[in-house]
Structure 1
Amino acid sequence: MRGKSMFMAVVTAGAVASQPALAQTAAPAATGEQAQGLEEIIVTAQKRDQNMQSVPVSVTALTADALAKQRIGAFTDLTRAAASLTITQQTNATSSSINLRGIGTYAFSISVEPSVAVIVDDMPVVQQAQAFSNLSDLARIEVLKGPQGTLFGKAASAGVVNIVTQDPTDHFTGRASVTAATDSDYRVEAGLSGPVGDSVGYRVSGFYHSYAGNMRNLTDGSLLNDEESYGGRVKVKFQPSDGFSYTINGSYALLRQAGTGLTIRSITPGSTPIIQNVAGVPLSGQLGGITPGAGNYATRVDTPGSTISKTSTISGRGVLDLGSASLISVTSFQDWRYNFRADVDGTAADVNAVLTNGAVHGGIVQSGPYHSTSFTQELRLASQGRGRLKYLLGAFYADSNTDRSFQRGPVALLSAWDGQAGSQSAAAFAQLEYAVPTGTTFTGGLRFNHEHISAAYTNTLSNATPATCVAGTAACRGTHNDDVVTWKGSISQQLHRGVMAYASVATGYKGWAYDVSSGFTPARANGTTGPVKAEHSTAYELGIKSRFLDNRVQLNVTGFWTDYNNFQGQSAVVVNNAIQLVLNNVGRVRTKGIEGEFSAKPTNWLRFDASAAYTEAGIRSFMGAQAYSGQLASSASCTTAAASGLCSFQDRSGGRLPNSPRFKFNIGATGEVPLGQSGAKGTFTLNYQHQSSVNFDLLGNPLTVQGAYGVLNGSVGLETGNITLSLFANNLFNTHFASNLSDSFSSMGGTATNPAHVINQFLSRDSQRYAGIKLGYKF
């Protein structure tokens, strides 16, 4: 419970607090009849407040009430509500990926932008790993699908996850909740909000989370994949007049893990895995007490991985009412520090002792800190009123820098380096909407972006040379400038009251990038392999949004088709007659499909919600792709064979993108039943999520496939007065599933005659059944 006492003292001193329940940015219904139906959800998908049903964008919006009822407390929980969203998890969050419609980020470099931008209160996070934290005191979350580059910039080539926290209230209020689960997971959330005089409002919130872990390290008996995190947010809103307000928003969050790891799902029968190809160190000697399989939560490691992540942010948002328009200024600064340690060989074997005749003991370990900072400034002029013409004009500037150090060893697989990546961008954007009397609205948007990127790399190994970037090698530093225009056009038609159809075309952009990772050479700086070219996309959408039956039923359906050119990914190239795994433009990608979202409130006490997505996310062209681990030269897709009998390069054209289920759906029911005349009510929720099989390997390894599975969650509760009590159960049928699979063939001595495929898996907390209780209080 490190830091718990200090943090809880601060929260207690602030008073009590909050996980908001009904502060959901939902406009009040216009009539009593509508008041019994579905609420109106206001979103900022087009950087202005709009009814979600009138926005010609495919967006999933989760209000504070929906987030609470579905128990979405961590970023990874969002996959339960957004059918087009998947998350590929690793023990190291910097290698995890957020994917929308099958598109994610498949690269290691600190210079590569995410395909899915994460925005918190108008502030884009620098590194996607920052998103993998607790979600607390939220007003809503919007998942915008497809390229959003015109309004949200160059790091939104596949979509945006827009997170909006609660604002200060004009009356004194507070909430507090405590959650405990059978898998030793404990969570406390607290907050307070209210006015100070007539012109100042405040909001203070905080959380503490502790989780014991779900994997047993049989070497010392400890649990791995644990978590301890805590943080807080303070918002102060100044409103000296009706026409001007300024909100200062500061937050801090810390996440700490004492140990991380993977478990073994399978080992090829008849093979003899040899750890790190070191004779005399067979994997079989490390399997005592371990039974490989989908339900294997045991491992043996001698250096448990660890993680610490700290995020500090400060932002200011000013709004000036000019009468016919609003002038909005958002200034932000963020500082993210991350450090990790990982056991590379994934065992407790004394590999170093064998390699050094006992002079050095232990296994192969890698570690290293990250430090990212970012300053952003955005200025927007947005029209007001109900006129036929609406406009949004804006300018944006960002200055981001990331430093990383990396070490691996101490005997084998030696690597040590320091890297830096910087990006300065300036953009101007505009969007116009014009509505004609026939109920037709035309929308057009344009963005011009100028970017300057830089990279530097220093190899700190003792045998480094200018060819491998020894300290002071000017050729291992590079800069690049780029200008790009992205645009979007749409037409929407009001077909009937509550029914709107739309069609849109949009372009997206993901900037040039340096491959700042192990093996950096002058060629990656400004030579033959880097920086890699920008990724461009063109997206087409047809959609319909509808509400009917007295506002009790909502159905939104979207068809989409997006082409990506110069898709950025990690693959192999031949450099100086040797194969290197580097970042490059792997080819063309297409994602197409159909999405649907359904909500119904047939009675005042019962609500149904469902979403589904059918997605074909395929690789149109990927010639010269690296062979997957252990791919035989005789395989159909192999184009270049090695003398060893293994494949060196393959043609991946026609393959599917990783972790992109062809079909995924969520369906749930929520009920609130009055109990007598006291005002008390009973509550229940039931949610089922299913997805088809996925392959986690961009290169198509048939052994890294997670089969189709479904998960059922449920809860029952009681609300009386200011107190709420609920009992919940997750994964009722105890369905084990992996959030990532990888093959250790090359590091386990695999050959064409010794197919030592050792498949490792990341098992999330939700891959096991657990139950819990939550107690809440509000005033």
Structure 2
Amino acid sequence: MMQTATAQQAPATTAEQPKLEEVIVSANKRIEKLEQVPLAITVLGDAVLQRNNVREFADVINLSPALTITYGTTPANNGINMRGIGTTSIGIGVEADVAVIIDDIPMGMQVKAFQDLTDIARIEILKGPQSTLFGKSAIAGAVNVTTKPISGPLAGNFSTLYTSDGEWRVGGSYGGELSEKFGFRIAASDTRFAGNVNNLTTGTKTNGSGGKTFMAKLSWHPTDTLDIDFTPRYSYSNTTCCALVATSVTPLQGALLSNVAQLPATTLLQGINIGPYNTDIRNDTKTGQESTSRGFGLRINYAMPNGATLSSITSLDKYYANDSRDQDFVDVPTLLYYPLANGKPAGVNEGYVQYGTFDVISRTQELRLTSPDNQPVKYVAGLWYGWNAIDRHFIRGYNGIALSTPTQYFTDTYNENKAIFGQVSWDFAKDYSVLAGLRYNRETSGYHFTTGAPPPGAFVPTASYSSVDNTENATTGKLSLQHQFSKNLMAYALGATGYKGLAYDLTSSLNAATAAQQPVHSETSNTFELGLKGNFLNNRLTLNLAAFNSKFKNYQQNSGGYLPGTTTYVTRLNSVGGVQTRGVEMDISALVTTDFIINGSVAYTDASITEFPNAPCYNVTDTSNGGFNAACQLKSAQYGGQNVQDLAGGRMPNAPKIKANLGGQYDIRLKDNSFDAFITAAVRYQSEVLTNLNQDPTLSVAGYSVTNLGFGIKDKQSRYKLSFFINNLFNKHYANTGFTGLGSWSSKAPNPVIAVTNTTWSPARDAFRYVGVRFDAKF
């Protein structure tokens, strides 16, 4: 599908008939008009970002039908999906399927994308494999973010927002050109949303996020042909997401946590109004992540005598995070009662928790040669170098207490990438163009892993594994044919391939047998796409359409199987055949009247599994198939006596069949000489999704629609604007994800034991209606 500049256009004020503003993109690493690029792109510009109060990446997801998020048990396990495809087995040894790039600098670890977005000019959502120009982590697509440039005389802006459920934001920027040779821009923001879940233990909110960001741009033009831009950046983020909120526990009476008599549900869950839209928990440990990121970018552009531009782009980024999770989901010291190996209570006055750190260093260097724009043959070519190193320290449970699944490990992984790439477009005949691109990538990667027992004692290694200097070469490419039917109507056909590098299963389940099978094969993709881009009614209406079919081979996912040459069956990160996604997309923007603009986009996406014969089963209470789903093959002889199911034809998780949004703004010209008024509205819809690859229908999120309304006033010079808004007008409750697993509960300890089922949810940011006010000023 192809989504146009969704709602980013605004009326142009001229003496002629008003038109939609021109939309530009840098998807081909040069500035071009959106309608001239043979690629499915959604562009979210400043107007739509401001109108929808976009703060973080989850807000971007709401505005693009091509994007969804896979929510994990901690923020570090969240992943971005493009057209229904994303990484579902997330760890430091597995790359993301969707690249996120800010000002030409890719993020070394995708979790960084979930920090606050500050001072953004536009966001380009590039769909389908983008490996040719954006590297190996763009196998499913890329999100290309551009911050606001230095331009014009010194000026600034200020914004603040407050909502009825306690969210507040404050931010601003200031800068401009001090002279013909010097310019600067600084921007800062501070945001906080405590959350929409009540922790009855601490009396505080959780399931929220916030952060502080500071960024600067310093520009120097020492000569007419040389530009130097230095961009330091710092951000702090604090996220308290992923706490599981009980929606049912059946039966509640007699239910015992981990079948321990001293831990009855009626006591542990006291005061919690368990039900479909419960927002209360009892946790004594934070579930979430606190992180800092600091780094810089350095860009040097040299204008060559022939009109080409030679660019050097350098970056360094350091990211550090602490994460934690309440593993027993209650607020009592469960380790007092969890048994030791001899069956006696451990007597440890602590709860069951997991925690750890991430330490990431990313360096990149790109040299790029870009041809002039005004010629029939245009090209971009470059050299790329990237280095990522990630250290992870992880602790879970308490040594000697089996129910706390005790473990501790230190692990690190690295990858070094060298690439050469090029892309050329040729207007070979009247109204016909061809575009071809190629990238050759050489990656060297590896890891070290040392495991041992968790506290209370000193760390004593019990096993160490490593695999280093694994090198793989890969070539990706793209080819498109473009036909210009008229000045305002273009069609194209595109083929492209993608590549994602070798992977490593660096989790607590790593052992000697699975370590011997590292690294996991790389993942590849190919896509075919047909698109149509049109501009009608004298540039008052734009329509973008695309149909696509993409296939992924050796999809990296946890699966079970025999180790080669043995009768040992294990579950590990593996390459499991393939998945595919196909569908159609449409974007539309219309200037209905001089003062009324609407923007909409819709996607139909069929993302499915094509090959996964040994996928895990899921539990079903009281079934004739041994307590598993009907498709489960019990004790399969082919797969080591394990319970497996063949998921060929199954749905990919977090891939709605239909996703759509429609928004707009109507300006009301008042006779008053000072102010005008405006009204905004937005509606989005998402069909039902599964949230787990094993197809468990109990882990699905029902379809929903959300309606937002707003209104306000602004002065006629657009210096001041006061906005009021109501989000989720009809109070439609919905979840980010569906989970079971609020601990392990059973009834009537020690015998007979009756299974206790439970369900949970994690309410979305706008799962409940709230109102807010926002003030913007320019100076």
Offset at residue 745 of structure 1 (A): 7.9
Taking a change above 3 Å as real, the CA distance of residues 99 and 273 of structure 1, as seen in their structure-2 partners, is: farther
Match of 1:329 among 312, 329, 342: 312
Match of 1:599 among 589, 594, 612: 589
2:676 matched residue in structure 1: 681
Alpha-carbon separation, structure 2, partners of 1:218 and 1:328: 55
1:610 is matched by which residue type in structure 2? G
1:608 matched residue in structure 2: 598
Query: Residue deviations 1:537-590, cap 9 Å, x none?
Result: 110100000111010001101000001110011233456877654211122101
Report whether the alignment pairs 1:223 with 2:205: yes
1:490 matched residue in structure 2: 480
1:299 is matched by which residue type in structure 2? I
Are the aligned partners of 1:458 and 1:469 in contact in 2 as well (CA < 8 Å)?
A: no
Taking a change above 3 Å as real, the CA distance of residues 654 and 267 of structure 1, as seen in their structure-2 partners, is: farther
Are the aligned partners of 1:469 and 1:476 in contact in 2 as well (CA < 8 Å)?
A: no
Deviating more after overlay: 318-327 vs 117-126: 318-327
Query: Residue deviations 1:158-205, cap 9 Å, x none?
Result: 110111111112311110111111011110011111222320100011
1:457 matched residue in structure 2: 449
Match of 1:446 among 399, 417, 438: 438
2:738 matched residue in structure 1: 741
Match of 2:326 among 340, 343, 358: 343
Taking a change above 3 Å as real, the CA distance of residues 500 and 30 of structure 1, as seen in their structure-2 partners, is: farther
Alpha-carbon separation, structure 1, partners of 2:662 and 2:460: 54
Q: What aligned pairs does 1:127-276 form with structure 2 within 5 A after superposition?
A: 127-257=109-239, 261-268=243-250, 274-276=256-258
1:545 matched residue in structure 2: 533
SS at match of 2:519: coil
SS at match of 1:476: strand
Deviating more after overlay: 576-585 vs 437-446: 576-585
Query: Residue deviations 1:679-725, cap 9 Å, x none?
Result: 52111210000011001011111101111100001110110142110
Aligned residues: 748
Are the aligned partners of 1:108 and 1:570 in contact in 2 as well (CA < 8 Å)?
A: no
2:342 matched residue in structure 1: none
Taking a change above 3 Å as real, the CA distance of residues 28 and 68 of structure 1, as seen in their structure-2 partners, is: closer
Alpha-carbon separation, structure 1, partners of 2:679 and 2:352: 49
Q: What aligned pairs does 1:374-453 form with structure 2 within 5 A after superposition?
A: 374-410=362-398, 411=401, 412-453=404-445
Report whether the alignment pairs 1:618 with 2:608: yes
Are the aligned partners of 1:638 and 1:649 in contact in 2 as well (CA < 8 Å)?
A: yes
With normalisation by structure 2, the TM-score equals: 0.91
1:712 matched residue in structure 2: 707
Report whether the alignment pairs 1:67 with 2:49: yes
Alpha-carbon separation, structure 1, partners of 2:655 and 2:677: 38
Are the aligned partners of 2:10 and 2:20 in contact in 1 as well (CA < 8 Å)?
A: no
SS at match of 2:554: strand
Alpha-carbon separation, structure 2, partners of 1:699 and 1:752: 30
Taking a change above 3 Å as real, the CA distance of residues 629 and 110 of structure 1, as seen in their structure-2 partners, is: farther
Alpha-carbon separation, structure 1, partners of 2:532 and 2:460: 55
Match of 1:636 among 630, 633, 637: 630
Query: Residue deviations 1:652-705, cap 9 Å, x none?
Result: 111101010001110112122221152521112100000110010111111011
Taking a change above 3 Å as real, the CA distance of residues 277 and 571 of structure 1, as seen in their structure-2 partners, is: farther
2:668 is matched by which residue type in structure 1? V
Are the aligned partners of 2:371 and 2:379 in contact in 1 as well (CA < 8 Å)?
A: yes
1:7 matched residue in structure 2: none
Q: What aligned pairs does 1:104-119 form with structure 2 within 5 A after superposition?
A: 104-119=86-101
Offset at residue 755 of structure 1 (A): 5.0
Taking a change above 3 Å as real, the CA distance of residues 228 and 536 of structure 1, as seen in their structure-2 partners, is: closer
1:731 matched residue in structure 2: 728
Match of 1:372 among 356, 360, 374: 360
Alpha-carbon separation, structure 1, partners of 2:332 and 2:560: 30
Are the aligned partners of 1:25 and 1:139 in contact in 2 as well (CA < 8 Å)?
A: no
Offset at residue 378 of structure 1 (A): 0.8
Query: Residue deviations 1:316-370, cap 9 Å, x none?
Result: 1111111331111110011111111110121224421112536212321000000
Structure 1, gaps ≥5 residues long: 1-21
Alpha-carbon separation, structure 1, partners of 2:499 and 2:174: 41
Match of 1:295 among 277, 283, 286: 277
Offset at residue 269 of structure 1 (A): 5.7
2:756 matched residue in structure 1: 756
Alpha-carbon separation, structure 1, partners of 2:36 and 2:513: 50
Q: What aligned pairs does 1:32-71 form with structure 2 within 5 A after superposition?
A: 32-33=15-16, 36-71=18-53
1:702 matched residue in structure 2: 697
With normalisation by structure 1, the TM-score equals: 0.91
Taking a change above 3 Å as real, the CA distance of residues 263 and 669 of structure 1, as seen in their structure-2 partners, is: same
Query: Residue deviations 1:29-72, cap 9 Å, x none?
Result: 797546x1111111001111010111011010011112101211
Alpha-carbon separation, structure 1, partners of 2:54 and 2:87: 24
Are the aligned partners of 2:453 and 2:460 in contact in 1 as well (CA < 8 Å)?
A: no
Alpha-carbon separation, structure 2, partners of 1:403 and 1:752: 46
Match of 2:512 among 513, 522, 536: 522
Query: Residue deviations 1:343-401, cap 9 Å, x none?
Result: 01212244211125362123210000001010000111111132111111111100100
Structure 2, gaps ≥5 residues long: 340-344
1:126 is matched by which residue type in structure 2? G
Query: Residue deviations 1:452-510, cap 9 Å, x none?
Result: 011000013279xxxx994684x434331100000100001001121100000100111
Alpha-carbon separation, structure 2, partners of 1:142 and 1:256: 26
Alpha-carbon separation, structure 2, partners of 1:142 and 1:734: 31
1:706 is matched by which residue type in structure 2? V
1:5 matched residue in structure 2: none
Report whether the alignment pairs 1:665 with 2:653: no
Alpha-carbon separation, structure 2, partners of 1:444 and 1:674: 49
2:355 is matched by which residue type in structure 1? S
Alpha-carbon separation, structure 1, partners of 2:752 and 2:78: 30
SS at match of 2:350: coil
1:680 is matched by which residue type in structure 2? F
Are the aligned partners of 2:636 and 2:642 in contact in 1 as well (CA < 8 Å)?
A: yes
SS at match of 1:301: coil
Are the aligned partners of 2:242 and 2:762 in contact in 1 as well (CA < 8 Å)?
A: no
Alpha-carbon separation, structure 1, partners of 2:288 and 2:767: 21
SS at match of 2:338: helix
SS at match of 1:698: coil
Alpha-carbon separation, structure 2, partners of 1:40 and 1:606: 17
Query: Residue deviations 1:385-435, cap 9 Å, x none?
Result: 321111111111001000000000123210100010100000001111011
SS at match of 1:130: helix
Alpha-carbon separation, structure 2, partners of 1:238 and 1:677: 44
